[in-house]
Amino acid sequence: MASIVIAVAIYLGITGFDYYTTPLSERFYHPQHEWLKPSGKFGQGLGVVGTFIIFFGVFIYILHKRYNILGKRIRLKYLLEFHIFLCSLGPVLIVYHTAFKFGGIVAIAFWSMIAVVLSGVLGRYIYLQIPRTIEGRALSMQEVKNSQIDIQEELRTNYGLKDVDLNIFAEFTDGDSSTGSSLRRVRKFLKQHSIQSKEQRTIVRMVKKERTLLRRIRRLERMKRLFRYWHVAHMPFAIIMLVIVVIHVIIAFTFGYRWIF
């Protein structure tokens, strides 16, 4: 879907390149002025469609996330992608609606919109780092921890290893590559204790899985914390943008502009 946004941006840029690169003082005399100016048929249409797309993308996502209005017909992670698509395409249309004229209250809305888009890109990255179910629901810390096994108990019970020998596995599974034991040391240790090759492979898979789970737990803690901070930045900018857009529309109607698209 990103390719669609890029394609639309390029198409609109090529179509109105000559007009958009004309100095503001000379645009009135440009043959495309009546068509591409913010109050022109095409320019106004871009603003109307862009605004509708953003509002729809925002509210359909919020309503489904909070009230599950679409039921199980669509997974939240797919709706998030749709939300990102609409809220990337809408700002592109609005930028061309302004004909790159940013001033007054519109400038506040524009930069708020840019902040929302950029923070949305960051938010998507953070979102993808949080372990989730197949439906897209974030896993709780307890759900991730329930996937763990007591690896030391497994090695002690099934392979007869002593407590003093288990430190090497604890060092490896702690997930800290700077101080942890290398996989090579783990394999060397298993060979020294005359553990059969098949069992060695089973143990290696087990400790690698445990290391991965520990990393996921740490990442979950870190990313959930970041996600809370991200909301503090993303939501206010989004609210500012939406409020100013509504004010902009009211002012436009007050000054006699009507929907001609």
How far apart (Å, rounded) are the C-alpha atoms in residues 87 and 118? 11
Q: Do residues 99 and 33 touch, judged by C-beta distance below 8 A?
A: no
Q: pLDDT grade, residue 17 (50/70/90)?
A: very high
Arithmetic mean of pLDDT over the chain: 78
Q: Do residues 91 and 54 touch, judged by C-beta distance below 8 A?
A: yes
Examine the pLDDT at 134 and tell me if it is beyond 50: no
Which of 74-88, 95-109, 130-144, 240-254 is predicted with the least confidence, judged by mean pLDDT? 130-144
Over pLDDT 70: what percentage of the chain? 80
DSSP conformational letter for 24: G
Examine the pLDDT at 96 and tell me if it is beyond 90: yes
Nearest CA to 224 out of 148, 161, 143 is that of 143
Residue range 17-23: average pLDDT?
Answer: 93
How far is the CA of 146 from the CAs of 66, 129, 133, 217, 219, in angstroms? 27, 19, 14, 11, 16
DSSP conformational letter for 29: G
Examine the pLDDT at 50 and tell me if it is beyond 50: yes
Residue range 154-159: average pLDDT?
Answer: 73
Examine the pLDDT at 178 and tell me if it is beyond 50: no
Residue range 35-63: average pLDDT?
Answer: 90
Which of 16-30, 147-161, 180-194 is predicted with the least confidence, judged by mean pLDDT? 147-161
Could you tell me which residues come within 8 angstroms of residue 166 by beta carbon, excluding any fewer than 6 positions away?
152, 155, 156
Could you tell me which residues come within 8 angstroms of residue 76 by beta carbon, excluding any fewer than 6 positions away?
64, 65, 135, 136, 137
What is this structure's pTM? 0.66
Q: pLDDT grade, residue 197 (50/70/90)?
A: confident
Burial string for 20-45 (b: 16+ CB within 10 Å, else e) reads: bebeeeebeebebbeebbbebebbbe
